[in-house]
Amino acid sequence: MDITRNRPESVRGPAEHFTGTVWLDQIAAPAAPSRLRMFSVHFAPGARTAWHSHPHGQVLHVTEGQGLVQREGGPVEEIRAGDTVWIEPGEKHWHGAAPRTFMTHLAAVEAAEDGTTVDWAELVDDTVHPAA
């Protein structure tokens, strides 16, 4: 058993993969054989990920605020504190804050054999996400 209190520094989500202000806190990345990777992700109003997929899927659990998630070919769906979302393996999607509110979610994935946790695609433009 191990209790971690001194977490790594918050990391800014890079502009090639995120629109707006996004900060990521790594919660857990245990050694093998575990492949768990867990983050708390903080989105400013209107901020969002680029389109992307996860090789083994992803669990999102909203802890604060209101946000949006969209699967390719599907509607933009509202999510809020307390909601849990399952993204299927390989399913292209994006997630982020609603236009006028902050949103924080926990994000848990399992890394692929080569360590990959996300495959990035194009940014989500304002015609899809009507950012304030």
Q: Which residues bind Mn ion (CB under 5 A)?
A: 58
- Our CB check for Mn ion shows the closer of 19 and 58 to be 58
Alpha-carbon distance of 32 to 40, in angstroms, equals: 21
C-alpha of 126 from chain center:
18
The residue with its CB nearest to Mn ion is 58
Q: What's the distance, Cα to Cα, between the start and end of the chain in Å?
A: 45
| Least gap, CB of 16 to Mn ion (angstroms) | 16
- Our CB check for Mn ion shows the closer of 81 and 108 to be 108
| Least gap, CB of 100 to Mn ion (angstroms) | 22
- Our CB check for Mn ion shows the closer of 24 and 44 to be 24
Asked if 47 contacts 12 with a C-beta cutoff of 8 angstroms, the reply is no
Alpha-carbon distance of 91 to 24, in angstroms, equals: 22
| Least gap, CB of 60 to Mn ion (angstroms) | 7
